Amino acid sequence: MKDSSSSRPGTCRSVPTRISTALPHAGRPLCLESRRRRAGPNRAQSHCTRGLRPVGRTCQTPAVTLSYAGRLDRPAVVRAAALVHGLVARTEVEAAWTRESSCAGMTVGGLARHLVAQSAYVVSLLGAEPTSSDAPAASLLDHYAHPAWLEGVDGESHRLLRERSDAQATEGHQVAVSLQAEALAALPAVLADPPATVLVPWQARRMASDDFVVTRLLEMVVHSDDLAASVDVPVPAFDDAVLEPVLGTLTALAVVRHGQDAVVRTLSRPQRAPGSISPF
């Protein structure tokens, strides 16, 4: 789920947890040029630009080809989950449980349940017995090319997720706190040195386990901000080992959507920056 600066203020977007639709361009990378045609004109520079792609080279530049397989700080995931537990357990969250959150159309309780689900996904998928699958492998950036990430916040998948999360929230605040505590207790064993090349099933494809975990860290960081803003409490201070892959992923996605110039100017030359470089 994610905020959308291009949508109405105060709305959030999210990928549903169960989607069977295959990613577009299955089996081959989606080049920056073709992504740029989808998103509209910009000034992205890449060896994918028409006429400049080297023979035999992938159409993704190093700047937008990303993987954390084998280099993710897994203990940092446990620390992130602990911060989520502390946030969800706050009395301010309990007091506002049935009120609308900063994500329009979702209650504070529904948002908290969606946030709690991220740690549970890591436990359930990485803790499951490996199974054979013919599903194609997906890179970290392929994950965000899923059709559900491209639809508006009022799209069916996002509506269903909000409804499901709000329905789960009717179980109450303490259930959410307990679920996060259970996931937090299970994470150290689940994250203890499995091969980074293990592919876990997710949304009709398979991802390297570390890359899958990064997608859950991104959700934790973004939705912790949403939840903290909803009840006017400080945002948890995630450590650098969490922020590095999250911000790296967001930056790469911003380059894919808006191009090199927009991202570089926003980060270093605000006088020439566009209005937004939100990747979503």
> Is residue 137 over pLDDT 90?
no
- Band (pLDDT 50/70/90 cuts) for residue 10 is low
- Band (pLDDT 50/70/90 cuts) for residue 12 is low
Question: What is this structure's pTM?
Answer: 0.77
SS3 33: helix
* Tens-digit pLDDT profile for residues 48-65: 333 333 333 333 444 456
Looking at domain 2-272, its CATH superfamily turns out to be dinb family like domain (1.20.120.450)
Return the ∠ at Cα 250 (arms to 249 and 254), rounded to 5°: 115
Q: Taking the domains of the chain in order of start, what are their residue ranges?
A: 2-272
Kindly state the average pLDDT of the residues 214-219: 98
pLDDT at res. 130: 74
The half-sphere exposure of 4 on its side-chain side, counting CA atoms within 13 A, is 20
> Is residue 76 over pLDDT 90?
yes
* Tens-digit pLDDT profile for residues 169-189: 999 999 999 999 999 999 999
- Band (pLDDT 50/70/90 cuts) for residue 35 is very low
Kindly state the average pLDDT of the residues 201-215: 89
Nearest to 238 by CA among 253, 223, 255, 260: 223
Residue length of the chain = 280
